[in-house]
Amino acid sequence: MPREAKPAMRVAPRATPEERAAAGRKARRRAPRSGHAGYEPRAGRPDPLAVLEAQSATRLPDLVPIRYGRMTESPFRFYRGAAAIMASDLAGSPDSGIRAQLCGDAHLLNFRLLASPERRLMFDINDFDETLPGPWEWDVKRLSASLVIAARANGLDDGTREGIVRAAVRAYREAMIRFAGMRNLDVWYARIDAERLTELADERLRPSGRKKLTRAMEKARGRDSLQVFGKLTESVGGRPRIAADPPLLIPLADLLDAGERKELVGRFQELIGRYGRTLTADRRTLLADYRLADVARKVVGVGSVGTRCWIFLLLGRDGGDPLFLQAKEADTSVLAPHVGASRYRNQGERVVSGQRLMQAASDMFLGWERVDGIDGRRRDFYVRQLRDWKGIAVPETMTPRQLGAFGELCGVTLARAHARSGDRIAIAAYLGRGEVFDRALALFAEAYADQNERDHRALVDAVRSGALPAAQLPAV
């Protein structure tokens, strides 16, 4: 039987702060901080294309070419879809032995603006499809490599890239040291909201950068169910329906015949009702005031393309009171083969539990359920609002100063997420106040970016030779 992932727990339960710090310093002997530098593919490294093909085997066949097409567009796009490849590469790398709840895919575009249930604009991690307890270093390495890959795409030189990564890792390290000295409740109350973002922008960015942030926050506040309603629906017979935009958005009416459609809608109605039981009583009452009006299949992201993702249009008091929910298939985490299986039997619950543990505030409609498909297979899903004040970074438009400041913000945010579940005192003591770990991660990030470029080239070559299918392949 597969082993279960070790929970993200204290190095020594009920130990004193001094004992926990001593355990963190002792971990340096197990995994010297300088040992995190660089990357060399191990002997027998799995073929990266075989890793992708193994994932594709469980996905919707008609969407797999879209996934490959998106991943061929650039090394960064490839990286976004290659979390499974990197998890395999990190297995066996230096490990302090200190566990935390991992995002599992902590690249820079998975840090973004979003709304708290109290309608406050926050900055936090957003994607938890791969979340599991594991070595905290893995998340920091995935973030660091993503910064180098984005910086290379922007044409930044070696020294600038190194400075960006070291600043982000330093921000993580220094934030963890601060969290180590805080009371438990203060760590859980910590968050980065719009006011703090503005303060940071005033400290770190020039006027052009501050204006860009202000516009991004204003745009994020406009992205809600009403905005989606106006963008994604049309009136059919006087009733709102989700408009087709194939192959990225296909209403259920265009996917299935009448009999199959009726059966699946019934199962989705049951899913919404059962999923509501995973919400708190007040939110369950709110959900019960909505009725299902339409369903469509949606293509999302890069790495997730091909997984089953449905959006539900629900209506409240009338046809102008919409709520959009997204039900996304939750499969086994790409970390599981390397850190152990989840303790949760439902993979949707795994995602939701990890998200609630790592985020300062989570979507008020976040929950999970499983449903039997018309093909007879039972699948796990997690459910959340389709769009709720979400704002995503655009690294291609960032100056070096802006990318550096964004990396630091991601580092602080990741440290806060890890501090909630891992032993923050032990991690802080392991990292120390010097820059040994910062320098090591800068070297690792450059070396892994090289590996990512080689893997990206292998995919492009496979597509161009016809070995793998791809939609919308860009010209050379």
pLDDT tens by residue, 415-452: 999 999 999 999 999 999 999 999 999 999 999 999 99
Angle at 372 between CA 371 and CA 373, to 5 degrees: 110
Q: Is residue 476 part of a domain?
A: no
pLDDT of residue 8: 63
Instruction: Judge whether 340 lies within some domain.
Output: yes
Q: Over the chain, what is the mean pLDDT? A: 93
Segment 396-409 mean pLDDT: 93
pLDDT over 80 at 312, yes or no:
yes
Phi-psi region of 44 (alpha: psi -120 to 50; beta: other; left: phi over 0): left
Which of these, 433, 437, 415, lies nearest to 32 by C-alpha position?
Answer: 437
Instruction: Say what the pLDDT of residue 476 is.
Output: 37
Is 69 in the same domain as 218? yes
Q: Structural domain tally of the chain? A: 2
394 in a domain, yes or no?
no
Distance of CA 295 to the CA centre of its chain: 24
- Asked if residue 373 has pLDDT above 70, the reply is yes
Q: Tokens 């204003």 sit at which residue? A: 218
Residue 185 has pLDDT above 80, yes or no: yes
102 and 203 in a single domain? The answer is: yes
Residues 325 and 340 in one domain: yes
Query: pLDDT at residue 229 above 50?
Result: yes
290 and 358 housed in the same domain: yes
Are residues 37 and 166 both part of a single domain? yes
Do residue 412 and residue 346 come from a single domain?
A: no
| Percent of the chain scoring above 70 in pLDDT | 97
Tokens encoding 295: 């369903």
Tokens of 372: 């039997």
User: How many Cα atoms within 13 Å fall on the side-chain side of residue 264?
Assistant: 22
Helix/strand/coil for 369: strand
Q: Is residue 471 part of a domain?
A: no
Q: Which of 141, 193, 178, 175 is nearest to 33 (CA)?
A: 141
Residue 2 has pLDDT above 80, yes or no: no
- Among residues 353, 385, 417, the one where a domain terminates is 385
Read off the pLDDT of each residue in 158-185 and give the average, rounded to a whole number: 98
Domain of 363, in residue numbers: 225-385
Residue 453: count of CB within 10 angstroms of its CB: 15
Residue 280 sits in the same domain as residue 428: no
Residue 220 contacts residue 391 (beta carbons within 8 Å): yes
Give residue 336's pLDDT band: very low, low, confident or very high (50, 70, 90). very high
Of 427, 413, 347, 357, the C-alpha closest to 133 is 357
Residues 283 and 256 in one domain: yes
Q: Which of 364, 216, 160 is nearest to 280 (CA)?
A: 364
* Domain assignment of residue 266, yes or no: yes
Residue 350: inside a domain = yes
For residue 454, pLDDT over 70 is answered with yes
Q: How far is CA 176 from the centre of its chain?
A: 21
So what's the pLDDT on residue 474? Answer: 44
Q: Is 390 helix (H, G, I), strand (E, B) or coil?
A: coil
Residue 1 has pLDDT above 70, yes or no: no
Same domain, 315 and 451: no
For 397, other C-beta atoms within 10 Å of its C-beta total 10
Q: Which of 323, 352, 385 is the last residue of a domain?
A: 385
User: What mean pLDDT do residues 22-36 have?
Assistant: 97
One domain for residues 193 and 239: no
Q: Does the residue 147 lie in any domain?
A: yes
**Other CB atoms closer than 10 Å to residue 386's CB: what's the count?**
22
pLDDT for 198: 87
Q: Is 431 inside a domain boundary?
A: yes
Position 161 pLDDT exceeds 50:
yes
Per-residue pLDDT tens for 203-220?
888 898 888 888 888 888
pLDDT of residue 212: 87
Is residue 358 located within the same domain as residue 446? Answer: no
In tens, the pLDDT along 267-293 reads: 899 999 999 999 999 999 999 999 999
Per-residue confidence (pLDDT) for residue 337, from 0 to 100:
97
Domain boundary among 385, 417, 435: 385
CA 367 to the chain's CA centroid: 16
Average pLDDT value for residue range 30-37: 97
421 and 364 within one domain: no
Per-residue pLDDT at 475: 43
